[in-house]
């Protein structure tokens, strides 16, 4: 085969050979070589024990780590002249044993490359390239499966998934990353064993789901997740979108709509210098979960219509609960849930154009999520009615243009009341307290509704608000201000 192998791999191969050790490039890097995909992280396996090859890595690399030492793995890094980094990890041949209630193996060292390859997840990852002599090793037909774009396990799939259930998540992730399909016998075993995923930590599931959503074929991966039954275990809100309409039929419009929205949102991501650089996990997760409130809010109305009132608010709550359970970080959870809660905000604009005050408020309240929300809103408009689609698109174009025009006149991202907290306290004779915060929020709303005003007008509005408060609130606030 025609390999254009990394020079670092060849160099390491020579260094190991000089010490009498075997070294082979394995797994993803070999697969990516055949697919002509770039890879900067190189995985190797060797006949040497860690204490024997550690000095080689230390001499070769500019950085060294040994967090995987108990699994027989050591790593090193070297920086190329162009500034790019090449990371390598080398693992002693292994022959692992798994306990039924754990995916963490008892590490047993093996004595052959072929034995090491047999423990890998899929045949396309069970190929190796001995270095430096470039002997290709493929005992399980990985190259053939690669050409067929199929995922198959090297050993019986039930044994493979029983040993390490995370491999089931990796299968659907590779569907998304590589555009592959899962072999029938492997898919059958996966579907029969989805409950085994319960022994995998939420963090591991989260990481695989993240990689899936950030992949080139994300919606294919989502379909594989749902069709396999894994979603019932790790993200049950998705299969719940396949709403039943009677005992004989299934209505998949919401689920199929969700897949379409995900694809459309991905298509609206921008280049690296744009406002939503691809791939954007926040936008993709919001697109995936934006309608998960519909099953709980579905109502059958007179005339055969179906409504989903408040599914945006309900969906945001469900998404927060699920994403917390999957251990996503707080910032992403907050942003995704805010996008879901706001994804219907724009729809009123289509029927009745907003005032400048309403446009200003929309831009201010959506804040750093403005660009993502607009893309989610556009992606969500999947109507097949061309006239409606054109009207919706034109209205969104108009809104975005109005926001741009307002931003030229005002710094919408940094809008503050015309009076700050100190000025409010001075005018009303107050000390810091809850009523000052209420006054500040009132003046912020006034600013959003009316735009910037002169100091005299702002002070008059503040005093009018104050005079409209109940007498007991004003008396209590000023009494607190007089206390020493």
Number of alpha helices (DSSP H) and beta strands (DSSP E) in the chain: 24, 13
Burial label for 363, CB within 10 Å (0-12, 13-18, 19+), is buried
CA separation, residue 101 to residues 98, 104, 164, 186, 327 (Å): 8, 9, 10, 21, 21
d(CA 482, CA 321): 46
Whole-angstrom distance, CA of residue 20 vs CA of residue 32: 28
pLDDT in tens, 340-389: 999 999 988 888 889 888 898 898 889 899 999 999 999 999 988 999 99
CB 361 within 8 A of CB 255: no
Structural domain boundaries in the chain: 1-147, 236-414, 421-482
**Percent of the chain topping pLDDT 70:** 93
Cβ contacts of residue 23 below 8 Å, gap of 6+?
12, 13, 16, 17, 44, 45, 46, 90, 130, 131
pLDDT at 253: 80
Identify which has the larger pLDDT, 206 or 352.
206
Mean pLDDT computed over every residue of the chain: 90
| CA distances in angstroms from 47 to 105, 121, 395, 438, listed in the order given | 19, 21, 65, 71
Pick the more confident residue, 169 or 352.
Answer: 169
Structure tokens of 327? 């251990």
Please check the confidence at residue 21 and state whether its pLDDT lies above 90.
Answer: yes
Cβ atoms of 284 and 214 closer than 8 Å:
yes
Q: Which of 161-165, 403-407, 479-483 has the lowest mean pLDDT?
A: 479-483
What pLDDT was estimated at residue 87? 95
Confidence of residue 482 (pLDDT cuts 50, 70, 90): low
Which CATH number describes the domain made up of 236-414?
1.10.3210
Q: What is the dihedral of CA 285, 286, 288, 293, to 10 degrees?
A: 130
Report the alpha-carbon distance of residue 90 to residue 23 in Å, rounded.
Answer: 9
Confidence of residue 245 (pLDDT cuts 50, 70, 90): low
The stretch 91-104 carries a mean pLDDT of: 70
Q: What is the Cα–Cα distance from 457 to 426, expressed in whole angstroms?
A: 16
- pLDDT-based confidence at 209, cuts 50/70/90? very high
Total length of the chain: 484
Sequence-ordered list of residues with C-beta below 8 angstroms from that of 472, at least 6 positions apart, any chain: none
Q: What is the mean pLDDT of residues 389-396?
A: 93
3-class state of residue 90 by DSSP: strand
Q: What is the pLDDT of residue 425?
A: 87
- Angle at alpha carbon of residue 344, lines to 343 and 347, rounded to 5°: 135
Local confidence band at 250 (pLDDT 50, 70, 90 cut-offs): very low
Taking only the tens place, the pLDDT of each residue in 28-46 is: 999 999 988 887 789 999 9
Q: Which range, 242-256, 281-295, 443-457, 464-478, has the best average confidence (pLDDT)?
A: 281-295
Kindly give, in sequence order, each residue whose CB lies less than 8 Å from that of residue 478, ignoring residues fewer than 6 positions away. Answer: 429, 430
In sequence order, the 6+-apart residues with CB closer than 8 A to the CB of 329 are none
- The answer to whether the Cα torsion of 279, 281, 283, 285 is positive or negative is positive
1-147 CATH: 3.30.460.10
With tokens 């940094």, the residue in question is: 414
Distance, in Å, from the CA atom of 9 to the CA atom of 33, rounded to the nearest integer, reads 12
Rounded to 10 degrees, the C-alpha dihedral 467/472/473/478 comes to 90
């Amino acid at each position: 085969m025609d390999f254009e192998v990394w020079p670092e791999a060849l160099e390491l191969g020579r260094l190991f050979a000089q010490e009498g050790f075997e070294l082979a490039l394995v797994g993803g890097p070999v697969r990516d070589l055949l697919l002509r995909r770039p890879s900067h992280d190189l995985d190797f396996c060797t006949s040497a024990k860690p204490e024997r090859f550690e000095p080689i890595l230390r001499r070769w690399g500019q950085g060294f780590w040994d967090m995987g030492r108990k699994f027989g793995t050591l790593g090193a890094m070297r920086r190329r002249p162009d500034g790019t980094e090449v990371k390598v990890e080398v693992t002693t041949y292994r022959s692992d044993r798994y306990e039924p209630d754990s995916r963490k193996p008892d590490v047993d060292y093996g004595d052959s490359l072929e034995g090491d390859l047999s423990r890998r997840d899929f045949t396309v990852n069970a190929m190796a390239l001995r270095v430096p002599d470039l002997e290709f090793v493929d005992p399980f037909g990985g190259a053939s499966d690669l050409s067929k774009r199929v995922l198959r396990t090297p050993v019986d799939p039930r044994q493979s998934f029983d040993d390490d259930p995370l491999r089931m998540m990796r299968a659907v992730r590779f569907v998304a990353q590589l555009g592959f399909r899962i072999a029938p016998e492997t898919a059958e075993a996966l579907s029969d064993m989805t409950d085994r995923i319960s022994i995998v930590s939420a963090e591991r599931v989260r990481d695989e789901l993240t990689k899936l959503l950030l992949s080139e074929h994300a919606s294919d991966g989502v379909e594989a997740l749902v069709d396999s039954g894994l979603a019932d275990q790790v993200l049950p809100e998705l299969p719940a979108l396949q709403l039943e309409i009677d005992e004989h039929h299934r209505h998949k419009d919401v689920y199929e709509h969700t897949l379409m929205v995900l694809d459309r949102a991905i298509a609206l991501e921008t280049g690296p210098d744009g406002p939503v650089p691809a791939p954007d996990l926040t936008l993709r997760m919001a697109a995936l979960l934006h309608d998960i409130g519909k099953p709980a809010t579905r109502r059958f109305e007179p005339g055969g219509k179906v409504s989903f009132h408040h599914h945006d608010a309900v969906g945001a709550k469900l998404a927060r609960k699920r994403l917390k359970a999957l251990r996503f970080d707080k910032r992403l959870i907050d942003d995704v849930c805010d996008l879901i809660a706001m994804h219907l905000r724009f729809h009123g604009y289509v029927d009745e154009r907003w005032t400048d005050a309403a446009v200003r408020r929309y831009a201010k309240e959506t804040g750093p999520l403005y660009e993502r929300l607009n893309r989610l809103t556009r992606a969500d408009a999947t109507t097949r009615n061309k006239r409606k689609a054109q009207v919706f698109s034109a209205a969104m174009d108009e809104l975005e243009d109005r926001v741009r025009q307002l931003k030229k006149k005002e710094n919408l991202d940094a809008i503050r009341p015309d009076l700050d907290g100190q000025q409010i306290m001075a005018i009303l004779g107050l000390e810091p307290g809850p009523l000052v915060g209420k006054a500040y929020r009132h003046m912020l709303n006034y600013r959003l509704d009316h735009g910037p005003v002169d100091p005299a007008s702002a002070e008059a509005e503040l005093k009018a608000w104050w005079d409209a408060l109940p007498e007991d609130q004003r008396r209590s606030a000023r009494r607190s201000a007089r206390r020493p």
